[in-house]
Chains A and B, each alone.
Chain A
Amino acid sequence: MSNDMIKQENVRNFSIIAHIDHGKSTLADRILEKTKALTDREMKEQFLDAMDLERERGITIKLNAVQLRYESQHTGEDYLFHLIDTPGHVDFTYEVSRSLAACDGVILVVDAAQGIEAQTLANLYLALDNDLEIIPVINKVDLPAADPEGVSKEIEDLLGVTSDEVLWASAKAGKGINEILEAIVHRVPAPEGNPDDPLKALIFDSLYDPYRGVIASISVKEGTVKVGQRIRMMQTGKEFEVNELGVFNPKPTAKDQLTVGDVGFLTASIKNVSDSRVGDTITSANKPAAEPLPGYKKLNPMVFCGLFPVDASNYNDLREALERLELNDSSLQYEAETSQALGFGFRCGFLGLLHMEIIQERIEREFGIQMITTAPSVIYEVESVDGEEFTVDNPSLMPDPQSIKEVREPFVNATIMVPNEYVGSVMEICQKKRGTFQDMEYLDDNRVNITYEIPLSEIVYDFFDQLKSQTKGYASFDYELEGYKASNLVKMDIWLNGDTIDALSFIVHRDFAFERGKAITHKLKDLIPRQQFEVPVQAAIGNKIVARSTIKAMRKNVLAKCYGGDITRKRKLLEKQKEGKKRMKMVGSVEVPQEAFMAVLEMDTDND
C-alpha cells in the first residue's frame, strides 16, 4: 500500500482557501496534474467540483479530499499529500472550519487584481484559529490588471511575512505551481500524533449514499482505525462497525486501515448523516479516547421559510424530497406547516440564504416539484406580558402586539470591505438597514474595512443585492452571528380581499412599518393579476390598516380575432392560459402568483 511506504513525517495535509473566483479550483486542478493524480483524459476542468449545481454557480458546496504522491525536486523523497477542499461561502463557515481542522497548512490564494476580500479574511481567520501554517499565493499575476507588488504588500502587512514568503502564480497558465508544491513540502508541518494512541478521527464531511449509507470523510489525528473495528461517535454516543475504509487518489481506493496523518473515507452502515456529524470525533468503542477533538458545534439554522407545493397533491412528494435531501445535509431542518392561504407544506430552516436557494433549486430541479416559497424569516425571541418566553420562526405566528412585552432579534457583525469611494454608499445602506456603526479601518490607501452591527433579518432581505449594486460589485461582505437584542418590532399582516394571508405576514421595525406597508401593497397590486372582481390589498398591524391599494377587476378577456380559420392557434392560446392558471395559487378567492410571496424581499429597492 502506498502510504505504508511513506513515513508519517513525509505526510502533508493542506487546504486551499480563497475568495470566490480567485482561482481556487483551477489551482487544485494544476496540483492534481503535477502530481499525476489524473491522466489527461480524466482531467476534466475543475475536477473537485462534482455536483452540477456547484459547477454552475462556481461554488464548492461539498468537501472532497484527494490523496496525491509527490516527489520533491529538492529532497528527492516521496511525499504523501492530502488536499482537502473547502466550501467557499459564508453560509458554510462551520464546514470550512472543520475541514481546516483536518489540515496542518493552507494555501491562501489571493487574486492579483482584486486583492484581499472580506471572504479571504474570514477564511484566513479560521485558518489562524486552527493554528495552521499559511502559504500565501498571489494568483493571476499575468492578468493585465494585476498588481502583484501591491497585493503582496497587503499580505505582508496582514500576515507579518516577508515578500519572499509570498509566492506568485498563474494557475491558469500553469506558472508557479512547482514552487507551491515545494513550499508545501518545506513549510507545512507533518501531522503529529501517535498511531498507537486511542483513536481520534475528525469527521469533516458526511455524504449519504443510497447503497452504502453515510460516507464520512475523516482525518485521523490519533491512533489507527481498521475495517471491522467497533467505533463510537463521541458527540452522539452512537456506535457502528466499520465496513469500509479508503482514500481518494482521486478514485476511491479501499484500505484495510487508516492511521495518523491519513485523510480518507469511512463507511459503517450509518443510516443518516445526523449520526455522523461534521466536527464529531470517531473513537474506538473498546478503547475510547478520553476527550474528543475540540471545535465541535451543532449547527443551527438561521433562516427559515415555508415551502408549499403549488399542487396540493404533491405534498407527499415534497416530504420525500426533503427527507432525501436531509440524508445528506444535517443542517437542513423541516417540519410540517399548515397555512390557511397555502395549505399543507413545510417550515424549513437553513444555514443562510445561499443554502436556502440551493435547497429550493434542488427540489425543483431534481424532484420536479413546483413550489410556492414564502419570504425568508429569522428566529425571534418573544417575551409575553405574562412572562412567558418562546421563539417564533414564522412571522404569521407572532402574537398580537398587546400581548408582547419584548421581542428580540438576532444581530450579526457584518464586515464589508470596499474601495474608499464607496464608503458613503455602504454606510447609507447599513443605516437604512438599521445597522449600528462599529469600526472602520483602512487596509491601505484605497481599501476600507467597515464593520456594522445589523439585524440578521435585514441581511436576509435584499442587503447583499443592494450592496453589490451600490458599489458596482466592488464590495465584499461577510457576517457572523453576534447575539439577540431587543428591538421595536411588529408583525405586519397583509389582507387580500379582506382575508389575512398568513403566508404574506412579515416582521418589521415599527419605524419602517408605514413605509414598508405602502411599498408592499403597491407591489402586490402590480404582481397579482386582475381578478374577476375588485381586490383590496391592505397592510395591517393588529387591526389597524396602515396602507391600502386596489387591484381593479378584470374587465375583458376574449380573443376577438378570427385568424382566417386558424383554430389550432386559438386552441394553443386557450391551453396556454389554462396552464398559466395552474401555476397560480388560489388563496381564498384570489389567484396569486409565486412572485407575490417574495414581494416583501424587494420592497426597498422599489422605494428608492
Chain B
Amino acid sequence: MISSVYIHIPFCQQICHYCDFTKFFYNKELADQYLDALDREIEEEVGKNQMYMRTIFVGGGTPTALNYTQLEQLLKTISESFDVENCEEYTFEANPGEFDEKKLALLKYYGVNRISFGVQVFDDQMLEKLGRNHRVKDVYDNLRHFEKLDFENVSVDLIYGLPGQTVEHFQRTVDEAIRLDLPHYSSYSLQIEPKTVFYQRHKKGKLHKPMEDDEAQMYELLVRDMEYNGVHQYEISNFAKPGFESKHNLTYWNNDYYYGFGSGAHGYLPGKRTVNIRPLPQYIKKAMEDGKPILHEEPIHQKERIEEQMFLGLRKAEGVSKSVFQDRFGRSLSSLYQEELDYLKQKEWIEESGDFIRITPQGRLFGNNVFQEFLLEDEKLQD
C-alpha cells in the first residue's frame, strides 16, 4: 500500500541563500548521531525486513555532504529496511563538486540508480550570488564520473527568475542544459521564503526578482525548448524523455502515500500527513527515545483527499483520471466540480480529453488560480 519513501539528510557544506529546507552546516559528530537516530526511526516504522519499495528518494540538504563512512552507514540502513534490489527508482540528490568517483561507486554498489543533480545555473557569478559552493566546471567533472560509472538516469535541477537574471541569460542556461542531453530536467522559479538570506535582502529592498513578464517568458522558453528537443513536460516543473519521468515525484502528484524519514521530513500515510521535528538535537533525542520524532500530524479527511487529488493531479500533463477519481471516492468528479469545470473550460485553462481532465498550457501559467477552484466549501460534501 505504501511503496514510496523519502529520506532527508539535513547537512550542507554551505547554505544556499534561498534554501528554506531543513538544513545545518555539516558537522561530523552531529551527522554520526543523526544517522543513528534516522536508523532508529526507520526501524521503528518499517522494521529491518527489506520491505518492498517502488521508489526511494534521498534528498536534503545534501546527502553527498556526508563523508564516505557515513554515506555507507546510511546506505546500509536503507538496504536493511528496504528491498533496494527490486526498487524501480532509487534516487540520491547530489551537489556538483561535493562528491567524487569513490562516493559515487558506493552509491552504485548499494543499488542507487538515479541522481538528482543540483546544477541550478550555468554561470559562476550567479552561483556565487546564490551562495552555492560549486562552479560550472564541477558540473562537467561530475558528469564524466556519472558516465564512467554508468549512471544513465541523471536529472538536472535548474532555477530561474534569479535576481538580476534576464530572459537571454536563462536562455543560455537552458541551451547549455539541453546540450548535456540528459533524460530528465526539473526547473523551478526562485521563491523567496522566510528565514533565508534572500528574504532578509528582499525585505530591505536590496534584492529584486525579474519582472513577472520576464519570468513568464523564461517559463515559456523552457517549455518550448525542452519539447523541441524531445524532453516532454510531464508536470508543471518537470521534463523527461519518454520513460524517464520520475516515479517518485509522480507519487506526490498521483496523491499516493509515502513515508517521510529524517528531520523535517514530510510523510503521507492513510488518513494523515505527517511532519517530523526540524531542529537536530530534538529530532535525535526523540528518535532515540521512541523512534517517533513526529512534530505534527494533519488529519486528511475525504474532503482534503479529494481536493488534493485535484490540485496535485492537475499539475501533471496527463491530468486527473475521471475513472480513478470514481474508484477512489465512490462518486464522479463532475458531481462535485461541474461548476468549476465549466468555468475553467470557458477560460480555456482546462480541457477534457477522454477519461482525463487536464490543464492547458495557458492554464499552467495560472496554475494557482486553477488549483484553488478545487478547494471545497465544507457543505459541499454533504449533498
- In the bound complex, CA of A577 to CA of B347 (Å): 19
Interfacial chain A residues near B347, Cβ < 8 Å: 532
Give Cα distance in the complex from A559 to B193, angstroms: 12
Question: Which A residues, 537 to 581, have Cβ-Cβ distances below 8 Å to chain B?
Answer: 552, 554-568, 570-571, 573-575, 577-578, 581
- Chain B residue nearest to A561 (CB atoms) is B188
Distance in Å: Cβ of A589 to nearest Cβ of chain B:
12
Q: Which of A562, A573, A577 makes the CB contact (< 8 A) with B252?
A: A562
> Which of B216, B260, B307 lies at the interface centre, i.e. has the most chain A CB atoms within 10 A of its CB?
B216
Contact of B236 among A555, A558, A571, A581 (CB under 8 A): A558
Count, chain B residues at interface, CB 8 A = 41
CB nearest to B186 among chain A residues: A562
Q: Is the beta-carbon distance between B189 and A564 smaller than 8 angstroms?
A: no
Asked if A567 and B372 make an inter-chain contact with CB atoms under 8 angstroms apart, the answer reads no
What's the least CB distance linking A569 to chain B, in Å?
9
Chain B residues 166 to 207 lying within 8 A of chain A, measured CB to CB, are 187-189, 191
- Let me know if B212 and A554 touch, CB within 8 A: yes
**Cβ of A566 and Cβ of B266 under 8 Å apart?**
yes
Say how far A175's CB is from chain B's closest CB, in angstroms: 48
Q: Is B163 an interface residue (CB 8 A)?
A: no
Is B237 within 8 A of A562, CB to CB? yes
Choose among B236, B366, B375 the residue that contacts A560 (Cβ–Cβ < 8 A). B236
A-side interface residues, number (CB < 8 Å): 26
- CA of A554 to CA of B368, assembled, Å: 12
* B52 located at the interface, meaning its Cβ lies under 8 Å from any Cβ of chain A in the complex: no
In the bound complex, CA of A552 to CA of B308 (Å): 32
Q: Which listed residue (B8, B365, B372) contacts A578, Cβ 8 A?
A: B372
Are A577 and B367 interface neighbours, CB within 8 A? no
In whole angstroms, what is the CA distance A555 to B364 when docked?
11
A575 to B8, CA, bound (A): 27
User: Would A565 and B260 count as touching, CB distance under 8 A?
Assistant: yes
A559 cross-chain contacts in B, Cβ below 8 A: 191, 367-368
Chain A residues positioned under 8 Å from B364 (CB to CB):
558
Q: Say yes or no: A575 contacts B375, CB within 8 Å.
A: yes
Q: How near does chain B come to A567, taking the closest CB pair, in angstroms? A: 6
A606 nearest CB across to chain B (Å): 18
Interface residues of B in 213-231 (CB under 8 A from A): 213, 215-216, 219
Chain A-chain B contacts (Cβ-Cβ < 8 Å), number: 95
Nearest to B298 among chain A residues (CB) is A568
- When the two chains form their complex, are residues B266 and A568 in contact, meaning their CB atoms are under 8 A apart? yes
- A530 within 8 Å of B (CB atoms): yes
Chain B residues near A563 (CB, 8 Å)? 266
Distance of A554 Cα from B363 Cα, bound (Å) = 12
Q: Is B75 an interface residue (CB 8 A)?
A: no
B188 touches A567 (CB 8 A): no
8 Å CB contact of A567 from B187, B191, B213, B266: B266
Residue of A nearest to B218 (CB): A556
Query: Do residues A577 and B219 form an inter-chain contact, with CB atoms below 8 A?
Result: no
- Confirm or deny: B268 has a beta carbon within 8 angstroms of a beta carbon on chain A: yes
Question: Which residue in chain B gives the minimum CB-CB distance to A556?
Answer: B216
Residues B6 and A565 in contact, CB atoms below 8 Å apart: yes
Pick from A552, A555, A557: contact of B369, CB below 8 A: A557
CA distance A530 to B211 in the complex (A): 12
Known: A561-B191, A567-B308, A574-B371. A556 touches B365 (CB 8 A): yes
A557 adjacent to B365 (CB under 8 Å): yes
Query: In the bound complex, how far is the Cα of B213 from the Cα of A100, in angstroms?
Result: 64
CA distance A284 to B191 in the complex (A): 76
- Does chain A have a CB within 8 A of B141? no
The closest CB in chain A to the CB of B60 belongs to: A564
Residues of B within 8 A of A574 (CB): 311, 368, 371-372, 375
A564 CB contacts on chain B under 8 angstroms? 6, 8, 21, 59, 265-266
Within the complex, the shortest CB–CB distance from A533 to chain B, in Å, comes to 11
A555 near B372: Cβ-Cβ < 8 Å:
no
Question: Are A558 and B375 within 8 A (Cβ)?
Answer: no
Check B366–A556 contact: CB distance below 8 A.
yes
B362 closest partner in A (C-beta) = A532
Chain B residues with Cβ under 8 A from A568's Cβ?
266, 273, 275, 298
Within 8 A of B (CB), among A427-462: none
A555-B216, A557-B367, A558-B364 known; A570+B249 contact, CB < 8 A: no
* Cross-chain contact A565 with B267 (CB below 8 angstroms): yes
Output the nearest chain A residue to B212 by Cβ-Cβ distance.
A555
Question: Does B82 have its Cβ within 8 Å of any Cβ on chain A?
Answer: no
- Chain A 573-594 per-residue mask, 1 if CB under 8 angstroms from chain B, else 0: 1110110010000000000000
Residue pair A558, B188 in contact (C-beta under 8 Å):
no
Is the Cβ of A560 less than 8 Å from the Cβ of B237?
Answer: yes
Q: A556 with B188: in contact, given A561-B237, A565-B258, A567-B312 (CB under 8 Å)?
A: no
Nearest-Cβ distance from residue B20 to partner chain A, whole angstroms = 9
Q: Is B289 an interface residue (CB 8 A)?
A: no
CA distance A559 to B188 in the complex (A): 9
B39 smallest CB distance to A (angstroms):
20
Max chain A CB contacts within 10 Å: which of B6, B298, B364, B365? B365
Contact residues, B240-288 vs A (CB, 8 A):
249, 252, 258, 260, 265-268, 273, 275
Please give me the residue from chain A that is nearest to B264 by CB atom: A564
Name B248's closest neighbour in chain A (CB-CB).
A565
Q: A560-B237, A575-B375 are in contact. Are A565 and B266 (CB under 8 A)?
A: yes
A residues less than 8 Å from B249 (CB atoms): 562
- A556-B369 Cα distance, complex, nearest whole Å: 10
Determine if B339 is an interface residue (Cβ-Cβ < 8 Å).
Answer: no
Q: Give chain B residues whose Cβ lies under 8 Å from the Cβ of A560.
A: 187-189, 191, 219, 236-237
**Residue B101 at the A interface, CB < 8 A?**
no
Contact at A566–B275, with CB atoms within 8 Å?
yes
Contacts known (A564-B265, A565-B6, A565-B266); A530 close to B212, Cβ less than 8 A: yes
Contact B273 A578 (CB under 8 A): no
Q: Name A251-293 residues within 8 Å CB distance of B.
A: none
Q: Would you call B85 an interface residue if the criterion is a C-beta within 8 Å of the partner chain's C-beta atoms?
A: no
B359-383: which have CB < 8 Å to A? 364-369, 371-372, 375
CB closest chain-B residue, reference A576? B372
A552 to chain B minimum Cβ distance, whole angstroms, is 7
User: Closest chain A residue to B359 by CB distance?
Assistant: A558
Contact across chains for A567 and B275 when beta carbons are under 8 A apart: no
In the assembled complex, the CB of B180 is this many whole angstroms from the nearest CB of chain A, namely: 21
- Residues of A507-553 at the interface with B, using a CB-CB cut-off of 8 Å, are 530, 532, 552
Question: Is residue B304 within 8 Å, beta carbon to beta carbon, of the partner chain?
Answer: yes
On whether the beta carbons of A567 and B268 are closer than 8 Å, the reply is yes
In the bound complex, CA of A100 to CA of B164 (Å): 66
* Complex CA distance for A343 and B216, rounded to whole angstroms: 35
Per-residue CB proximity of A272-316 to B under 8 Å, as 1/0?
000000000000000000000000000000000000000000000
* Inter-chain contacts of B237 with A (CB < 8 A): 560-562
CA distance A282 to B188 in the complex (A): 77
Provide the residues of chain A in CB contact with B189, threshold 8 Å. Answer: 560-561
Bound complex: CA A440 to CA B304 (Å):
70
User: In the complex, how many angstroms separate the beta carbon of A283 from the nearest chain B beta carbon?
Assistant: 59
Within 8 A of A (CB), among B45-94: 59
Instruction: Give the chain A neighbours of B267 by CB distance below 8 A.
Output: 565
Task: Give chain A nearest CB distance to B61 CB in angstroms.
Answer: 10
CA distance A565 to B7 in the complex (A): 11
Chain A residues engaging chain B, CB cutoff 8 angstroms:
530, 532, 552, 554-568, 570-571, 573-575, 577-578, 581
Point out residues on B near A: beta carbons under 8 Å.
6, 8, 21, 59, 187-189, 191, 212-213, 215-216, 219, 236-237, 249, 252, 258, 260, 265-268, 273, 275, 298, 304, 307-308, 311-312, 347, 364-369, 371-372, 375
Q: List 17 A-B contacts (CB under 8 A).
A: A556-B215, A556-B366, A558-B364, A560-B187, A560-B237, A562-B249, A564-B6, A564-B265, A564-B266, A565-B260, A565-B265, A565-B266, A567-B266, A567-B308, A571-B311, A573-B368, A574-B372
Query: 11 other contacts beyond A564-B21, A565-B260, with CB at 8 A cut-off?
Result: A532-B347, A554-B366, A556-B365, A558-B367, A559-B191, A561-B237, A564-B6, A567-B252, A571-B308, A574-B368, A578-B372
Ordered nearest first, which 9 A-B pairs have the shortest CB separation? A558-B367, A555-B216, A556-B216, A578-B372, A560-B237, A565-B266, A560-B188, A574-B372, A566-B266
